[in-house]
Amino acid sequence: MRGFSLLTILLVLGVIYVQTATPQERFKIKGPKESSEPVFCFDLINKGVAKQGDTCLMKIVDAFPTQLPIGYVAAACKRDKLEELAENGDFFKQLEKKPVPVVIGPYSNHQHTHSNSSLYITDHHHLIYAIFMMRGSYLPPKYSDITERYVYATIQRDYSTLSKTNFWNTLIKNNLTYTYDEFGKPLHNFPDSLPSSVMYLKNDPFRSLAYFDRRQGGYGKIDQEFQEFSWANYLRANSFFSPLNQYTDLTSFDMEAPTTKKLIPAAVYASQQPDAKNLPGFGHGKRQNPECKYFK
């Protein structure tokens, strides 16, 4: 009788819950145990527990570049896509899927967050520049302040104990830094000629053309450092694309974008010619949807 009474009580309680609980509560399914919230990279570094493979948060003002040029139009296109994701509520999900690779290196005088080390990004410069350019009332509250904007980062290596000279020599040896300027020429006074922030990168219009060339199937993306810079230099050497030479100003999107768009079909054609066969990704092109409406 006692067992039956207990069962009756449980059934009654269950009926009451079903009647009073919201549909969301009633049909909520427990997923896998959520991982702990990510912490900022400098919290790990300052505690001496940062290690290779850690994923953490990094403020974009703390991201020191390892290259000088970017393709401004390509970055602006990424910005438009990110703003669309922010408006739809998918922005941070996308950032988490694409963490920025970083190495811990010697302290820089331009450090924003207090630490004895600095973070140097070895890829995704266009992504971070695009985040710098984001605007709109639908941005997350903290993102209205540029100094508070952050990305997910993955620590590749800890080189913080190396001298400045050995640090940069190590990056060069491991193809983790790009030592050429926005004209495809070797940088003078490297690494001091690198900017102190992604905000001060230089525009290489051929880097943008190479980006859109790939997305239209001119060549295929492969896992090789600075692949698109190789194609940018290939296109730069072709006089047909010389109209782009006038666009090195980071603020000339309205003038550069139409010229770039007009040249994309010719870039795709040029990238499929025999003289490009030794470039990375040749013959493996696959057309992708543009990231921004302007190039659709």
The whole-chain average pLDDT of the chain stands at 87
Sign for the pseudo-dihedral over CA of 214, 290, 73, 172: negative
Task: Give the pLDDT confidence score for residue 27 in this predicted structure.
Answer: 23
Residue type, 9: I
Structure-block tokens of residue 264: 């994309």
Fold of 37-203: 3.90.1530
Please say whether the beta carbons of 128 and 67 come within 8 A: no
Which pLDDT band, with edges at 50, 70 and 90, does 188 fall under? very high
The domains of the chain are located at: 37-203, 206-296
- Which residues, including other chains, have CB under 8 Å from residue 163's CB and lie 6 or more apart? 106
pLDDT, tens digit (0-9, with 9 covering 90-100), for 75-125? 999 999 999 999 888 999 999 999 999 999 999 877 788 899 999 999 999
pTM above threshold 0.75:
yes
Coil, strand or helix: which one is 295? Answer: helix
CA 47 to chain centre: 26
CA geometry: angle 205, 167, 176, nearest 5 deg: 35
User: What stretch of H or E contains 46?
Assistant: helix 41-46
Structure-block tokens of residue 269: 């054609």
Say how far apart CA 235 and CA 212 lie, in whole Å. 12
